[in-house]
Amino acid sequence: MLVVDDELDITELITLYLQREGYTVHTADNGEDALRIAETLIPDLIVLDMNLGKMDGIEVCRSLRSGACADVPIVFLSCKSEDRDIIRGLSEGGDDYITKPFSPGQLVARIQAHIRRRRTRERNGEDAAAVLSFPGLEIDFRTLEVRLNGDKVALSAKEFELLSVLARQPNRVFPLEELYRRVWQSDSMGDTRTLMVHVSNLRKKMESDPARPRWVQTVRGFGYRFSPGTPGDD
């Protein structure tokens, strides 16, 4: 586990809570050290402060996503709670976004959910022999790849999981709470904006017209569904 924050008291607090749960924790207080440690150790998860000074969290996240830590879950910490800040963090590769001040217990629970999901996926290979095929779309759980009209779509780990949950039960409407629980492996709903941003990012990568999505559609007042049929208005 890697915790990156330039506020020592926060780093020590998170480290204390994680060590109580039996995790080995490495820390860094700047982006350069964070990248060096991450590329060397390949941690199970990275807690990353957005505001690090010379090299901010967004820059660190971009570098991590282009290297050996491309699939490592990243949980952003930030004192910024505006929609545009959350959207930016998740769009740049974050898997989760938690605002300061935060509950250490809730942070640990979210971290455990990400790690549990990743380890389950690695252990089971997401049904290693399974391939879901729809007209123009293929989801391969052996290689964790998605192909749209024959072209590979570069999805983040959470985007792939989100698509997988929906596509395994086409046309079923998933309430927001259930979809969040399945993808983030948490009984707590957390921030609905996290789920909505990931849906938005998924559409931008997969839909020719994200405003009229073919694949991941909104059922207003209920949640989302995967539709292998025709586009709908969102």
Q: What contacts 220, CB < 8 A, 6 or more positions away? A: none
Residues 105 and 176 in one domain: no
Q: What is the rounded distance in angstroms from the CA atom of residue 198 to the CA atom of residue 90? A: 7
| pLDDT value of position 187 | 60
| pLDDT value of position 206 | 94
H or E segment to which residue 179 belongs? helix 176-184
- Residue 53's domain is classified under what CATH number? 3.40.50.2300
| pLDDT value of position 5 | 96
Residues 52 and 119 in one domain: yes
Query: Is residue 234 assigned to a domain?
Result: no
Q: What is the rounded distance in angstroms from the CA atom of residue 38 to the CA atom of residue 57? A: 13
Residue type at 44?
D
Residues 60 and 26 in one domain: yes
DSSP assignment string, 105-119: HHHHHHHHHHHHHHH
Q: How many domains does the chain have?
A: 2
Query: Is residue 197 assigned to a domain?
Result: yes
Query: Is residue 75 assigned to a domain?
Result: yes
Residues 85 and 146 in one domain: no
Query: Is residue 232 assigned to a domain?
Result: no
Query: Is residue 106 assigned to a domain?
Result: yes
Q: Which domain holds residue 143?
A: 125-226
Residues 55 and 130 in one domain: no
pTM of the full structure: 0.67
Residues 98 and 30 in one domain: yes
- Residue 137's domain is classified under what CATH number? 1.10.10.10
Beta strands 223-226 and 216-219, pairing class: antiparallel
Neighbour count for residue 148 (Cβ, 10 Å): 17
Query: Is residue 133 assigned to a domain?
Result: yes
Query: Is residue 233 assigned to a domain?
Result: no
Q: For the chain, which residues score pLDDT lower than 70? A: 121-129, 186-191, 230-234
Q: Where a domain ends, among 91, 106, 123?
A: 123
| pLDDT value of position 157 | 87
Q: Where a domain ends, among 123, 156, 187?
A: 123
Residues 11 and 104 in one domain: yes
